[in-house]
Amino acid sequence: MAKKIKQIAIYGKGGIGKSTTTSNLSAALSVMGLKVMQFGCDPKSDSTNTLRDGKYIPTVLDTLREKSVVKAHEVIFEGFNGIYCVEAGGPAPGVGCAGRGIITAVELFKQQRVFEDLDLDVVIYDVLGDVVCGGFAVPIREGIAEHVFTVSSSDFMAIYAANNLFKGIQKYSNAGGALLGGVIANSMGTPYSKDIIDDFVEQTQTQVVEYVPRSITVTQSELQGKTTIEAAPDSAQAGVYRSLAAKIAAHTESKTPKPLGVTELREWASKWGDYLLALEQGKVGSLGAAI
């Protein structure tokens, strides 16, 4: 019997650190000995850059625009430690659905039995933030990915995007859609950022998979066109990414989250707003005391 391929989708607001986290996760999983494909689904098409010394690769959609018949191997490029890199790509600016690339690329790979032929252990889809367009929901909706993880900081807009994603997951959860593995808390810096994320996951009945600190090592590595796993394998930050990878490799049970309603989310946010103000004014001392 063919082995089961673990298919994971990483979602989150634009600029929150999806590609950085995903690439480090792919790199760490591959160093663990797993055969990994990273599938960039953001029309920005820069998901796999740090796996390939900062270089862009031709996207599936661009290649399809040049010629009508595309063989899968023409759009798969080798990256760090043998990781297979793919960028779905986006439509020409101002034309068509931005999710088109995902639908097209996934179809192409399915028809050509790419995942089976490459003997993959893990496929990671790096997908744009909110589930605004059907195309972006494809990895969830079609049950292509089995587990979804969301990258979020403690900023309200990132949490808002995560909560929207939870709504999308909940919607398709009874129809064979992907379920939620948890939240990857990124850019943890201030003492209260962890408390905010902890409270959010509690409210929405999910969990934090890993707390990833904001780190200059990530910036340095990115400027060299590399993941932290490649550029600074002995750093503390690389250790955090390896810990994340071990948890995700071992992860089996995902769940349906309980997103907050619009008013609930607003109230939740203003409660934290009041608390942070009181903290700044020295009216509350220890963290969590006023909540």
**Site residues, ligand ADP (CB under 6 A):** 12, 14-20, 186-187, 212, 214-215, 218-219, 222
Residue 155 structure tokens: 């900023």
Look up tokens 């995700």; give the residue.
248
Residue 168 contact among Mg ion, ligand ADP, none, beta carbon within 5 to 8 Å by kind = none
Q: Which of 13, 42, 199, 226 is catalytic?
A: 13
Q: Which of 42, 121, 126, 130 is catalytic?
A: 130
**Rounded to 10 degrees, what is the CA torsion of 20, 227, 33, 81?**
120
Cα(235)–Cα(255) distance, integer angstroms: 33
| Catalytic site includes residue 42 | no
| Catalytic site includes residue 67 | no
Interaction with Mg ion in 40-69: which residues (CB under 5 A)? 42
Query: Which one, 18 or 242, has the nearer CB to Mg ion?
Result: 18
Q: Considering the complex, what minimum distance in angstroms separates the CB of residue 175 from Mg ion?
A: 28
Query: Which one, 16 or 209, has the nearer CB to Mg ion?
Result: 16
Q: Kindly indicate which of the ranges 35-43, 97-105, 115-123, 240-248 contains the residues binding Mg ion, using the contact rule CB under 5 A.
A: 35-43
Q: Considering the complex, what minimum distance in angstroms separates the CB of residue 252 from Mg ion?
A: 27
21 binds Mg ion (CB under 5 A): no
Q: Are 82 and 120 in contact, with CB atoms under 8 Å apart?
A: no
Q: Considering the complex, what minimum distance in angstroms separates the CB of residue 70 from ligand ADP?
A: 25
Q: Are 204 and 259 in contact, with CB atoms under 8 Å apart?
A: yes
Q: Are 277 and 257 in contact, with CB atoms under 8 Å apart?
A: no
DSSP lists the bridge partners of residue 91 as: none
Q: Which of 35, 44, 171, 194 is catalytic?
A: 44
Cα(259)–Cα(202) distance, integer angstroms: 11
| Nearest-5° Cα angle at 44, 41 to 47 | 60
Query: Which one, 143 or 213, has the nearer CB to ligand ADP?
Result: 213
| Catalytic site includes residue 13 | yes
Residue 51 structure tokens: 């796996």
Cα(86)–Cα(59) distance, integer angstroms: 7
Query: Which one, 210 or 222, has the nearer CB to Mg ion?
Result: 222
Interface positions with Mg ion (CB under 5 A): 18-19, 42
The residues annotated with a catalytic role in the active site are 13, 18, 44, 130
